[in-house]
Chains A and B, each alone.
Chain A
Amino acid sequence: QVTLRESGPALVKPTQTLTLTCTFSGFSLSTSGVCVSWIRQPPGKALEWLALIDWDDDKYYRTSLKTRLTISKDTSKNQVVLTMTNMVPVDTATYYCARSWRGNSGDLDHWGQGTLVTVSS
């Protein structure tokens, strides 16, 4: 059974760095084709893809946020970590992690429940 769960702070202050952890089970991020993505959704708005890390440790980022994002994995712990620097109020959103098992253009077949992050002083 594949599961993913996001964890991290619910509230961050402007200019702070956000660190989110995706802990997963039921698959290995060292298996060829497997990727984990981070996606966010501001309240009442659309989904926005942020970053992806694949089985080969290749990393891809949303162009407009590339300078602020870092994605990494710890295969032994079954975790993927996303950091986002210099947080601002418009970064307030529910952040999801999701798996694809057929490369970086494959569908996201399993999602975490999401974690709401509010940016406010």
Chain B
Amino acid sequence: QSVLTQPPSVSGAPGQRVIISCTGSSSNIGAGYDVHWYQQLPGTAPKVLIYDNNNRPSGVPDRFSASKSGTSASLAITGLQAEDEADYYCQSYDNSLRGSLFGGGTKVTVL
């Protein structure tokens, strides 16, 4: 079954580092397709945070970084800030579904 699995929630104190994992399979991340990450603030549309595994669009703070290895990817937020409280989603293409997949989303809470 083609899914991208994320932890439902992660939390950290201001200034700490949190990591969100995204686990896929051989038909998506493991097949070499790029992983993209989105941030969704409450009541707003998602915004691309990281594209092509580890690239930040202009305007995204360098506190956000990401990596990909094998069938998994991860997003790291260092120096956690209150404004980072949001839902985060990974996305990749799946060649067995011939379409995009989103992860189940991870809610980041700043304690």
Distance of A111 Cα from B103 Cα, bound (Å): 18
A75 to chain B, nearest CB (A): 22
B48 partner residues in chain A, CB cutoff 8 A:
107-109
Task: Report whether over half of chain B's contact residues are helix, strand or loop; otherwise say mixed.
Answer: strand
Contact partners of B46 in chain A: CB under 8 A: 47, 96, 108, 111
The complex places the Cα of A60 from the Cα of B36 at a distance, in Å, of: 19
Contact across chains for B51 and A107 when beta carbons are under 8 A apart:
yes
Nearest-Cβ distance from residue A98 to partner chain B, whole angstroms: 8
What's the minimum C-beta distance from A103 to chain B, rounded to whole angstroms? 9
Q: Which chain A residue shows the least CB distance to B35?
A: A107
For chain A, the count of residues having a C-beta within 8 Å of the partner chain is 23
Which residues of chain B are within 8 angstroms of A47 by Cβ–Cβ distance?
38, 40, 46, 89, 91, 102, 105
Q: Which residue of A lies closest to B2 (CB)?
A: A63
Residues of B within 8 Å of A113, CB to CB, are 45
For the side of the interface on B, what is the size category? 20 to 34
28 A-B Cβ contacts within 8 A?
A47-B40, A47-B91, A47-B102, A47-B105, A49-B99, A49-B100, A49-B102, A52-B100, A60-B99, A61-B99, A62-B97, A62-B99, A104-B99, A104-B100, A105-B34, A106-B34, A106-B51, A107-B36, A107-B48, A107-B51, A107-B52, A108-B91, A109-B51, A109-B57, A111-B45, A111-B46, A111-B47, A114-B45
